[in-house]
Amino acid sequence: MVDEILIELKKPIDAMRALSFFHWSSQQNNFEHSIRSYCIIIQILIHAHMFKHAQAMLESVIRRNCESSDSRFVIVESLLSTYKITDSSPSSFDLLIQTYSKLRLFELAFDVCCFLDGHGFSSSIISFNKLIYVVQKSDKNSFVWKIYEFMLVRRIYPNAVTTRIMIDAMCKEGTLKKFIDILDRIHGKKCTPMIVINTALVFQILEERRVEEGIVLLKRMLVKEMILDDIVCSLIVFAHYKNGDLESACHSYEVMLKRGHCANSFLYTLFIGFHCKERKIEEANHLMQEMLVMSLKPYDETYNFLIEGFSEVGRLEESLSFSEQMVERGFLPSSFAFNVMLRKLCETGDVRKANNIFTTLLEKGFIPNEATYAYLIDGYGKEGDAQEVLKLYYEMEYKGHKPGLMGFTSLIRSLCQCRKLEEAEKYLTVMKDRSLSPTAHIYNTLIAGQCEKGNTERALCHYDEMIRNELKPSSHTFAVLVEKFFSVGTFPNASIHLDSLKSYLFAILPEYVLYTQLLDLESRIDAALARKRTDIEQSVRNPQFIQQKLCIYAFNTFSNQIRRVSEKQSAEAPSWTLKIIGRILEDELDSDPTETMPRPS
């Protein structure tokens, strides 16, 4: 009944009467308006250009619907169903989106935009600007770019207000300078804010490996003069580079040159990076020399690629040279590139040189990370310099780089290498106090160190702790424990640990016996060959007209056992048989080649 009366009052001249009736009916006993009634009065008010009243109604119905379990699209669906019967305009949908934005329900606002687009209604640029502004103020920058991309894909093009909001978003996320620098390397001149924004959008799409979408959007922007041709060409090359397709990247680069555009440092750096990742160092170095000849300026990323590439192949002197050139040009290496070089220097024993370079870069503003200190600690640990190990740890703590799992692993391992087991145990406790769970590697290192020092009781404590934490000791660790067990006759409190030792021992025993058998096989073959050599030497001194031969057979039943295992669950364990035939070896003759040495189960 209420809906029918409201529809009778749908003309703009009757809008105020319709609103009065709506409020009057809501005050009647036990009466509550439906969402459809709200949408009818909203459509009538919008048709009469009473936008403030309409927005107040929208806010009321949105708050009411948020508290209910109805579908999130129930309001927009109701507006769609009442749109024609009230002779309203699409402004009602824009007002809905703007109201959602005002109430900071921006995710719902965007979903409604997509919903309306699917029903043939495009939101206005004003609605999108309102939505982007609210999202940007809410520090949801990734969502800002999602909305902006949706606008361009739906051919809703930005205006000056949109541009200002997007530039503010880039400033807030700290990417504005990055993309201005990229455009400077590509185009060589200053670009308008609109071009900066559009380049940033496409760059992000390509970083996500959405190559086809990015290229389509680039071409659409070019048609609308929202981006420059040389930038489009360079970004298409970048798209193929991100896709790992060097052939297509080179082809697009050649097309770019034929269109009259010049090579740029951005593209040269891409190709240098590709060759460095493929370990094609000479090609990368050749491109670097070409850049310098063409007066193209290398930048920080160019040097980072070269430092990583040359370090990975062991050409550390050239890597250090690029690092020095980089610093001379006012750049600092990335933490990743520097860590690669640092790790290689420490692995080759040049830890002091690595530390000196590190100190120099720190003075120039380089910001290290946990891995930087971990590699240096490992380097000094291999040299047995416990003082430098602890010094680096204290420096890391002092500068606010709280060590995590990687840092504590390097610290404890290095202290064990320096035979500072008490210090290692101390930092194991510190690690646990910081709610960091020690790894199997840390326990293996401590067990080996304590066994080597003769502290078998402490070693077994670590072993038991490993088992409680459901960590599995390495075969080397267990071998050290077993060796210590047999060398001293018994462990202190051996009965406490015997069950876990037995279970682990029996689990690896078949492999242990097989390994022993293989060693025995090798020694017997060596002995046979040595006796054969002696026999040959004797034959040379005292020639005989008797032909002698040496035959060595090694039988293994493993392959047969594999074939049988699916047929019979209790298949015999693999075994080895050695048969050596020869006149000089009769004392070791194995007359039955089928006799085997079964592996214990």
Q: What is the pLDDT of residues 465-489, one digit of tens each?
A: 888 888 888 877 777 777 766 555 5
Q: What is the pLDDT of residues 380-437, one digit of tens each?
A: 999 999 999 999 999 999 988 889 999 999 999 999 999 999 999 999 999 999 999 9
Q: What is the pLDDT of residues 136-155, one digit of tens each?
A: 988 788 899 999 999 999 99
Q: What pLDDT is attached to residue 542?
A: 67
Helix (H, G, I), strand (E, B), or coil: what is residue 232?
helix
Mean pLDDT value of segment 272-280? 93
Tokens of 53: 């009243």
pLDDT band at 67 (very low <50, low <70, confident <90, very high): low
CA distance 41 to 523: 98
Assess contact for 450 and 428: CB atoms under 8 A. no
Q: What is the pLDDT of residues 306-344, one digit of tens each?
A: 999 999 999 999 999 999 999 999 999 999 999 999 999
Q: What pLDDT is attached to residue 130?
A: 95
Q: What pLDDT is attached to residue 463?
A: 86
The closest of 470, 410, 475, 489 to 447, measured between CA atoms, is 475
The closest of 281, 212, 190, 202 to 235, measured between CA atoms, is 202
* Burial of residue 545 (number of CB atoms within 10 Å: 0-12, 13-18, 19+): exposed
Instruction: Name residue, tokens 């040379």.
Output: 540
CA distance 423 to 43: 76
DSSP 50: -
User: Amino acid letter at 110?
Assistant: F
- What count of other Cβ atoms lies within 10 Å of the Cβ of residue 152? 18
CA distance 126 to 112: 15
CA distance 335 to 375: 12
CA distance 491 to 157: 79
The closest of 400, 458, 399 to 428, measured between CA atoms, is 458
**Domain parsing of the chain, residue ranges:** 1-123, 493-598
- What count of other Cβ atoms lies within 10 Å of the Cβ of residue 65? 17
3-state DSSP: the chain helix, strand, coil percent, rounded to 5? 70, 0, 25
Tokens of 379: 């380097």
Q: Helices 300-312 and 265-277 sit at what angle, rounded to 10 degrees?
A: 20
Q: What pLDDT is attached to residue 598?
A: 44
* Category of 402 on φ-ψ map: left (φ > 0), alpha (ψ -120 to 50) or beta: beta
* Category of 349 on φ-ψ map: left (φ > 0), alpha (ψ -120 to 50) or beta: left
CA distance 324 to 331: 10
- Report CA torsion sign: 284, 285, 291, 293: negative
Q: Picking from 192-206, 424-438, 472-486, 564-578, which range would have the lowest pLDDT averaged per residue?
A: 564-578
* Category of 549 on φ-ψ map: left (φ > 0), alpha (ψ -120 to 50) or beta: beta
Q: What pLDDT is attached to residue 601?
A: 38
Residue 585, pLDDT > 50, answer no
Assess contact for 42 and 54: CB atoms under 8 A. yes
CA distance 601 to 598: 9
Q: What pLDDT is attached to residue 562?
A: 42
CA distance 53 to 47: 12
CA atoms within 13 A on the CB side of 265: 20
Q: What pLDDT is attached to residue 474?
A: 82
Q: What is the largest CA-CA distance in the chain?
A: 134
Residue 583, pLDDT > 60, answer no
Residue 278, pLDDT > 50, answer yes
